[in-house]
Amino acid sequence: MSSVTSTPAPKGLEGIVATNSSICYIDGDLGVLAYRGIDIHELARHSNFEETCYLLWFGRLPNQGQLKDLRERLAQERHLDPAIIQFLRNAPKTALPMDVLRTTVSALAFYDADEKNNDHDANVRKAIRLTSQIAMIVAAYDRIRKGKPVVDPDRSLSHAANFLLQLTGAKPSPTAERALDIALILHADHELNASTFAARVTAATLSDMHSAVTSAIGALKGPLHGGANEAVFRILEAIDRQKSDPIEYVRSMLAQKKKIPGFGHRVYHTEDPRATHLRAMSRDLGRSSGQPQWYEMSEKIEKLVKAEKKLNANVDFYSASTYHVLGIDEDLFTPVFAVSRISGWAAHVIEQLDDNRLIRPRAEYLGPDYPNPYVAMEKR
């Protein structure tokens, strides 16, 4: 008879290296994040979302011609099958945009000529297509649920500008376009975060890109992952509505042992480098749009949580106030995360399928000793 003597596995796979990858480098102690070795601070300052996509999918920065070509391919893919638009119209107007996105991305496979093709080039084509389509779905569903007409894409615009155009019906200002562009760069990839891991696990069964991205969207939705940005804004909104003192509000949450969304990270033990940029964007956009209160509240909360819990703000904390000031509804914050992260998910699916092996880890068994005899019903 064997007895259970094993040590439990680290909960939540903490610290476990689960794959080899050449896409994203993180040093959690030094607060370093780099895509293909290029520091996120350099990308946020100098790059744009399309160039970052190229970097993630092809492994290097593009030259001028390559970037132009990718921009054109992304623009050409700004098209949704009429059946998908009808699907969005049929969704309940009360449905969560994140749920609509998850289910619609799954449905996109019905109309994708490459659905069953898992070779490298087909996966790159699907990466490009899904990147354009996800942005369009998020914008179109928001218009439909508000009873507004779906806005035609403008193929001459950048990905960020076209998304804002299709969402709001108006061409964005250069400041708004650049702010969203930087946010998209910052959210594009983050190594084996929960949703990317989910995507890789699904892809590794030799399923397909659409299934992998659908899995990823389901994982991103949760408040411990991408759902945190919406949860942050719900707190800011409650403080504003109730005219509460942000310090007292959050102190009371801490006293009730509640987690404060937008703080803490499994990997970073110092400032999340993405938060550095989002903090500055939240401050600058808040001031220039005449809505400084969201940043001011956030800053107070950040100081308190840092002092009381020694926790740093993560990517989701200042993205909440940034997106709000950009005029994006709070239940679209997590879908907007997906508008960016599709680039990283796709890069990981491509990498996984280029050198695939089924992902099938083991569990440390801690249950009753084996053999545990089956007891007949009448003897229980």
Ligand X SMILES: CC(C)(COP(=O)(O)OP(=O)(O)OC[C@H]1O[C@@H](n2cnc3c(N)ncnc32)[C@H](O)[C@@H]1OP(=O)(O)O)[C@@H](O)C(=O)NCCC(=O)NCCS
273 prior amide bond cis, ω within 30: no
Catalytic residue among 189, 210, 316, 324: 316
Q: How many CB atoms lie within 10 A of CB 253?
A: 16
SS3 call for 2 = strand
Q: How far is the CB of 364 from ligand X (least distance, A)?
A: 18
Q: How far is the CB of 56 from ligand X (least distance, A)?
A: 19
Cα angle 297-275-58, degrees, rounded to a multiple of 5 = 150
Q: Are 318 and 275 in contact (CB under 8 A)?
A: yes
Residue whose Cβ sits closest to ligand X:
264
Q: Does 246 bind ligand X (CB under 6 A)?
A: no
Q: Looking up tokens 């997906």, which residue turns up? A: 338
187 is catalytic: no
Q: Does 139 bind ligand X (CB under 6 A)?
A: no
316 is catalytic: yes
DSSP assignment of 229-255 equals: HHHHHHHHHHHHHTT--HHHHHHHHHH
SS3 call for 13 = helix
Q: Does 53 bind ligand X (CB under 6 A)?
A: no
Across 328-337, b (16+ Cβ under 10 Å) vs e yields bbbebbbbbb
Q: Does 313 bind ligand X (CB under 6 A)?
A: no
Exactly one of 9, 13, 280, 311 binds ligand X (CB under 6 A); that residue is 311
Q: How far is the CB of 319 from ligand X (least distance, A)?
A: 10
Q: Does 137 bind ligand X (CB under 6 A)?
A: no
| 201/191 Cα distance (integer angstroms) | 14
Q: Which is nearer to ligand X, 158 or 193 (CB)?
A: 193
Q: How far is the CB of 77 from ligand X (least distance, A)?
A: 29
Q: Does 9 bind ligand X (CB under 6 A)?
A: no
Alpha carbon separation from 218 to 176, 223, 226, 272 (Å, rounded):
28, 11, 10, 24
Q: Which is nearer to ligand X, 18 or 170 (CB)?
A: 18
Exactly one of 314, 322, 340, 352 binds ligand X (CB under 6 A); that residue is 314
Q: Does 312 bind ligand X (CB under 6 A)?
A: no
DSSP assignment of 328-369 equals: --GGGHHHHHHHHHHHHHHHHHHHHHHT-----------SSP
Length of the chain: 380
Contact flags string 247-286 toward ligand X, x per CB under 6 A: ------------xxxxxxxx--------------------
Catalytic residue among 159, 187, 265, 348: 265
Stretch near ligand X under the rule CB under 6 A, chosen from 40-48, 144-152, 223-231, 336-344: 223-231
Residue 25 parent element (H or E)? strand 24-27
Q: Which is nearer to ligand X, 53 or 186 (CB)?
A: 186
Q: Which is nearer to ligand X, 59 or 222 (CB)?
A: 222
Q: Does 344 bind ligand X (CB under 6 A)?
A: no
**Total of chain residues touching ligand X, rule CB under 6 A:** 17
Which sequence positions are flagged as catalytic? Answer: 265, 316
Per CB under 6 A, residues contacting ligand X are 12, 224-225, 228, 259-266, 309, 311, 314-316
